[in-house]
Structure 1
């Protein structure tokens, strides 16, 4: 294995581990009311596909409908611990897939159950590239990783 392959493997492992260790993230949107950031629970179907639910009549979903380009941060809130940043494209999911995503989300985040009884929509985020930052490993600036890497 080359040094580059080892680096990609290490970054991909850090990405998967950080996603698995977190149940929530910050989701940034921009709509007709300007920029907005909210905390959301999420599940990952793979490292570049995140799934969540949003309030049907909320500002975040309205912004996504107007502009599906979003940004995310997965972090404990302290830069001393590994954290993730990404840009993604959001898509509202309907039909049979909606039920599967809600089940996957509830399996990872049981405390999401009360939200599922409210008027909500399921949303899928497709991440084009992650930046993985880990100060202990010396990753500052963070390491970029794409699905093709």
Structure 2
């Protein structure tokens, strides 16, 4: 299993005292993207209007610029506030193919201290069934530590 304990400590150290959400997102996405070879595209989609997500910050190739809450894996995570662990994106009804190389996806809702969904954190892999429940739990904990302060 990946060393999420060390990753969490690194991110906590790098983000300590920072309160700018975009700066926090940029730092988190950089550290997580380079943490594991399974992570082909890693990024945030921020809630910028009612029922609308916009891209950024992210690492990897281009992504979709905007995603309504009503569409795709990211929209489902934002709409429901629940983790979306998708072993095969082709089997997910309504999947949005921002990159044709994506085979599996893990999308985590990001909450602020008031328990509002402020973004989703999207991890794409070019490998099928790349993500586990352990990944989801560890990354949810890291995101909570950073954004629910």
TM-score w.r.t. the length of structure 2 is 0.28
Q: Between Structure 1 and Structure 2, which shows a larger proportion of strand residues?
A: 1
Q: Which has the larger radius of gyration?
A: 1
Highest RCO, 1 vs 2 (Cα 8 Å, sep ≥ 6) = 1
